[in-house]
Structure 1
Amino acid sequence: MGVLLRPTPNMGAWVVEMFTDRTCLRRRAPADTTASGAGAARSADAAQDDVTLPELDIDAVSPDRGFGFESADLEPVIATLDQVLDDPLYLDYIGRINVDLGRWIAPHAEDGWITIDGPVVDAATRVHDRTVELSYVHVAELRLKLVDFADALAADDTAW
């Protein structure tokens, strides 16, 4: 069992669980999050809306997998990765091991989803949450790819 970190406000519905050599990022479903005021009304509406999940190509054979998340979660996912990068478990591990670079493919946005292919240890989508498990050696590059992608989207307002 890992160490569940207290989420920061910038992480939205994402939470982090830290292990000795990897991390698990989890996004709770809107119905599982607590909000107040106008945010509560938006969360309740989001829980009732149909969400189109991206299609998975189960016939594709690749040593790397990826994960996807709603476009609105781009900044919260980056904040979640920031929390991993600042944690003592990550810092201790990465101080002894070299990072593994060049494994993440540039993310792309389609139909309100952002997808990025790379060295995901495990990923799952269930009714109440979505999880992605990453080795510490791949976290920093993933964050860099997502920040570059966010910067490109900000420069091109028509991409949203």
Structure 2
Amino acid sequence: MNQIFTMSKKDTIHIELTDKSSKKIKEFEKIKWAVADQEHYGKPVDFTKNKYKFVAKNEDGEITGILDLMTEANLAFVEGLLIGSKFRKQGIGSKLMKQAEDFAKKNKCTKVYLETNEDWEAVEFYKKLGYEVTGKHEDHALGQRSLIFTKFL
């Protein structure tokens, strides 16, 4: 998926949309982000995005729930929490969240954040776990309003 965007005839900059990172692109990012980190944070920061999947299973080995976590620098983002409908209200979601929080803390994360739709039952669930609403997105995915929740570890 490479696409070139042309500007005016006298423009000397050409923009390319690509889904691949060449050696040249990776080297540019490595050098330039190190300079930007030094300017903004006074030190180099590892912004590598690491993704993890926590999987809950019952004694029969059946998957009951999954939590997707992404860490970057000192932040942990819960990308998704999914509990099978017949396994809800059994504490599985709370246990997955606790494991993810403990893991994040061990990996030097200072806060966990996530997003959920404003009118979903998950709102009360996250509040019960100590998460606070710290922002919202209007007209977000499929026109829904979503809430951003944060918990400091």
Same fold (TM over 0.5): no
Structure number, greater radius of gyration: 2
Larger RCO (alpha carbons 8 Å, 6+ apart): 1
TM-score, normalised relative to structure 2:
0.27
**Larger strand proportion of the pair:** 2
**Larger helix proportion of the pair:** 1
TM-score, normalised relative to structure 1:
0.26
